[in-house]
Chain A
Amino acid sequence: MPAARTLAETLAAKQREISVAEFFERNRQILGFDNPLRALLTTVKEAVDNALDACEEAEVLPEIHVEISKEGADRLRVAVDDNGPGILKREIPNVFGRLLYGSRFHANRQSRGQQGIGISAAVLYAGLTTARPVLVMSKVAEEEAAHVVELLLDTQRNLPKVVREDLQLWDRPSGTRVELLLKAKYQRGRQSPFEYLRGTAIVNPHARFVLTEPDGTRITYERASEEVPKVPTEVPPHPYGLELGELSSRLKASRRATLSEMLQTDLAGVSARAAREVLEGAGLKARDVPGDVHGEALERLLQALHTVALVPPSADCLSPIGPVLIKRGLRNVLGDVRPDFYAPPVSRPPRVRGGFPFLVEVGLVYGGGLPVDQPIQLLRFANRVPLLFQQGACAITNAVQTMDWRRYGLDQRGGSGLPVGPCLLLVHVASTKIPFTSEAKEAVAEDPELDKELTLALQSAARHLRTHLSRRTRRDQAEEKFAIILKILPKLAEKTSHLVGKPIPDLTPVITKIMDVVNVETTIATEGARTVRAEVTNYTPRARVLEAFVEMPAEVFGAATFAPAPDGTDPALGRAWWTLEKLAPNGRERLEVAFPKGTEVDASDLTWYLAGVDEAHLLGAETLPGDWDIRLPRAVIEAAQEAGEPLPSPEEPEVDYDAAEASEHVEEDD
């Protein structure tokens, strides 16, 4: 280095010297360390996110322990350990002791951590508030013992300063434990480690979490799925999302011999034909050397890449939670709330925003112990990470609030804002690049494409809710009718028969006139074998030929036994069916599906369908979906129906005496 440094160089050096500490101090808020409550949450969140990402990469089922203990008046010790693959000893200092160091920033795939600020910021915060080093213990499967490293972050140089190194035996194949002492405060509430872990457990049903709170309370979220989620694959960046700098570095780093080859292999969505068009548009040659493109040529190339029609980015790099696991996750965590209804979760197909694929998923739960008179609970997730702050500034919240939920059966003042009702809404946005509003990754920024998908997904979930609520209303009305026909009518007949001294008449015609539905009542018995029973009763005034179908997950179909023997089965689709010949008015048929003890199946996993009666006259089962490719004995059904008596014409409207009376008679007594 020359002896005489320029002023600019001196300044540059100075800037670097103060940069990290100053950066942190000035950005405490956006990094999530602006107060003791939030500092704790951010620390736990960063450590757990890292643990989950590490486990996922290694394809192991995560087991994550979070222990928070009190140390002195305003200090907490936070320890997070996982059963992940561990970190190589030489990498430990950089991972924990250096800001902006990470493996995922450049990877074009969906992951929890993205910027590499997270855990080292927590180390920095801990160092600044307690002057204590972080303790990292990590073991990789190849080594006998775990490495223990204590280190601080050197704020002057943004470099790790190792204080102590050691080896320690650890009775597990691999894993990482990180322990920090920081100025922080523990409190349960909306923005607490408790809430964060609850949310994380919902969207990561394959993980087991144990949280130990400072007072010793231990909360465990058991694993609800043994399936390791598919690791999102890394794909080359799509040109639509590329900016000049990245294109330049990609070109320089390319090992391809020609530009044409580079475009087709190092970037996504560029076919041979598209490559030709791009090169033509940019005035470049197929055989040009990638590393030689710069300056104006580079700009022309990017311009051409953005104009030429390309294959949209692949969504392989996304890892949706999927309908099955969303439901399982919600059920696992909300079990004690006993909701009445889990809407079939919505998982939208991937779309592209800029050059980045994204997709939206929505889960909806209704009823049970959820509070009736409060705004719905909205759980927001980005790449499987719960978003706990900035709810008001988030595109997800906005999409929920701008929808008119009154149309779907929830209360909502003026048709906008958070609806009110016993409802919990889970919204997950997965993308290789989530447009966050800030570095603290607490809210998703507005985007027209994203908003459209959010709205479609929410509407789809809301439609399920509306269907459920209208079914429930029908069910309630039916309950009233059942009370009439089962309890009141027989007694009325008995009383009047007795008074006139005649035998009790057959009540079937009256019962069927009052009900006028075919009812399917399902019950489950769990003693020994698990038996799901469906009783089909024809409460309509005519005899009917009905076809009953049961559908169940194909995995459990093999274990099922049926009584009576079904008239047909389709094991691949998990279906069995029966023809109920001429079910007379008030006639009943019992169908049973039994599973051996220990089969993982629930009454709600079985769906019952009935053909031979329209939806308005069917209760407790679905009508046959239109897309089922099944040959029905239609002729038989129709013939049976035509032979039946015509429906009685509806009676003329009458004043209900008991309803008219209700509002009167406040006046006199005697």
Chain B
Amino acid sequence: MPQKRASTSKRTTDVEEGSVRADALAPTFDLARSIYEQLEHGEIPRMRLPLRTKQNIAFQMREGVWRLGRALGTRSARKLDGALMLLRTFYLVDFINEMARDRKTSTLRELYYISEGWEEAKFHSEDESNLLIEDLEVLCERLREDFRVHPEENGASVIGDLTIKERNRKGVVKKINCRDDVGDGGYALPFNVEKEKITFESTGAKFVIAIECGGMVDRLAENGFDEENDAILLHLKGQPARSTRRFLKRLNAELNLPVVVFTDGDPWSFRIFASVAFGAIKTAHISQYLATPSAEFLGVTASDIENYKLPSDTLSDQDVRALQAELSDPRFKTAEWRSEIELMLKNGKKAEQQSLAKYGLNYVTETYLPEKLGEMGVL
């Protein structure tokens, strides 16, 4: 299982070294062998995979994160969808091996377009190709980087007194302070934030504030919130990418920095927090690398909307359904989250984090955040 990741991740990637890691791809051949043997024995080919559904995630005490449970599903050639996914799996395995041979990497989006040449097995949407890559991670107990597939750079940014060393694409190691050596855009995270790429040098910060919207990051930076309060500002950019979550996890684990999450006050923002703190369902097989269990939700909470009399919108039907789905999500099954979700359902209101501007541009940094962080014991 993905626990083995610890060993593979220590290695440097072959992009730099130009070497092919045979063992990274060996499990893909095992998959092919398994299907071949089934065909040879006249059995309808199938694969068994852990179900990545909200019913099949379990809290793991030791890691403090939500991990994949034991329920298995079957992908069988008896059904058209199953047969297609099986065929795609081997087009994908072929493609991955080809890339290894040619020392190439591909973005998730490129992979989706590569399938144009796969005839019947062509992906119908990028969701399908992303899902299959994750399936392969689970089946082979590898990470997608091992398969030479990565997301596009999404530029999630960091601003604050944090000095890192990054080995750039030319192989040169650069020391960067994320407050003094960067422009107003901050330090942009690459898709690979593992130790072989980034190491932490030093920091003067006392905590990390992870923020949903870029506008709010800019507001805090312009108001000098990071310098005044010794904070690292991290832009989540909506649902955070794996690299963003991994980076947060490392800041928390290696530098012992507390993490608070500051988002809009709506059901979707709750899910952003859940994927940061608890681990996402889709990536439950690697939660222990991505989740920051000690992260805390700062706001905007349902009671903030009332207490601060924030301009709000009425919950849409879709919002209500999302909240109800969260009530049956095991990750939200704590008294605090239950009452938060129920309060939002009861009030029927949601608010954006930037609605705090109602009280002026400095209100968020001078009043709201100090009050909230004080309550949380961070400041």
- A631 touches B (CB below 8 Å): no
Interface residues on B, range: 35 or more
Q: Name the residue of chain B whose CB is nearest to the CB of A668.
A: B280
- Chain B 334-365, CB-CB to A under 8 Å as 1, else 0, gives 00000000000000000000000000000000
- B315 touches A (CB below 8 Å): no
| Segment of B33-41, B159-167, B203-211, B257-265 in the binding face | B33-41
- B249 touches A (CB below 8 Å): no
B71 pairs with A665, CB closer than 8 A? no
B280 pairs with A667, CB closer than 8 A? yes
Among B71, B72, B242, the residue within 8 A (CB) of A670 is B242
B90 pairs with A665, CB closer than 8 A? no
B53 pairs with A489, CB closer than 8 A? no
- B29 touches A (CB below 8 Å): yes
A510 in contact with B45 given A496-B90, A499-B94, A670-B151 (CB within 8 Å): yes
B74 pairs with A491, CB closer than 8 A? no
- A483 touches B (CB below 8 Å): yes
Residue count of chain A within 8 Å CB distance of chain B: 37
- A507 touches B (CB below 8 Å): yes
- B120 touches A (CB below 8 Å): yes
- B58 touches A (CB below 8 Å): no
- A171 touches B (CB below 8 Å): no
Chain B min CB distance to A483 (Å): 6
- A23 touches B (CB below 8 Å): no
A492 to B44, CA, bound (A): 12
- B282 touches A (CB below 8 Å): yes
**CB neighbors of B among A651-669 (8 A):** 654-661, 664-665, 667-669
**CB-defined contacts of A493 to chain B, threshold 8 Å:** 36, 39
A505 pairs with B39, CB closer than 8 A? yes
A658 in contact with B54 given A492-B45, A510-B39, A665-B131 (CB within 8 Å): no
- Chain B 175-219, CB-CB to A under 8 Å as 1, else 0, gives 000000000000000000000000000000000000000000000
B42 pairs with A664, CB closer than 8 A? no
- B369 touches A (CB below 8 Å): no
Q: Name the residue of chain A whose CB is nearest to the CB of B154.
A: A670
A657 pairs with B73, CB closer than 8 A? yes
- B220 touches A (CB below 8 Å): no
A656 to B36, CA, bound (A): 21
Among A510, A660, A661, the residue within 8 A (CB) of B44 is A510
A514 to B51, CA, bound (A): 24
**CB-defined contacts of B151 to chain A, threshold 8 Å:** 670
**CB-defined contacts of A655 to chain B, threshold 8 Å:** 51, 71-74
A523 to B33, CA, bound (A): 40
Chain A min CB distance to B326 (Å): 10
B87 pairs with A488, CB closer than 8 A? yes
**CB neighbors of B among A405-458 (8 A):** none
- B14 touches A (CB below 8 Å): no
- B15 touches A (CB below 8 Å): no
Among A480, A510, A659, A669, the residue within 8 A (CB) of B239 is A669
Chain B min CB distance to A515 (Å): 10
A670 in contact with B241 given A495-B90, A499-B29, A657-B82 (CB within 8 Å): yes
7 A-B pairs with C-beta separation under 8 A: A496-B32, A505-B39, A513-B42, A656-B81, A657-B75, A658-B81, A667-B271
The 6 closest A-B pairs by CB, nearest first: A509-B42, A657-B73, A499-B32, A670-B241, A495-B90, A654-B74
Seen from chain B, the residues whose Cβ lies within 8 Å of a Cβ on chain A are 28-29, 32-33, 35-36, 39-40, 42-45, 47, 49, 51-54, 71-87, 90-91, 93-94, 97, 119-121, 127, 130-131, 151, 154, 239-244, 271, 275, 280-283
Besides A484-B80, A488-B80, A489-B83, 15 more A-B contacts (Cβ < 8 Å) are A480-B79, A483-B80, A484-B78, A488-B83, A488-B84, A489-B77, A492-B87, A492-B90, A493-B36, A655-B73, A656-B79, A658-B73, A658-B75, A668-B283, A670-B151
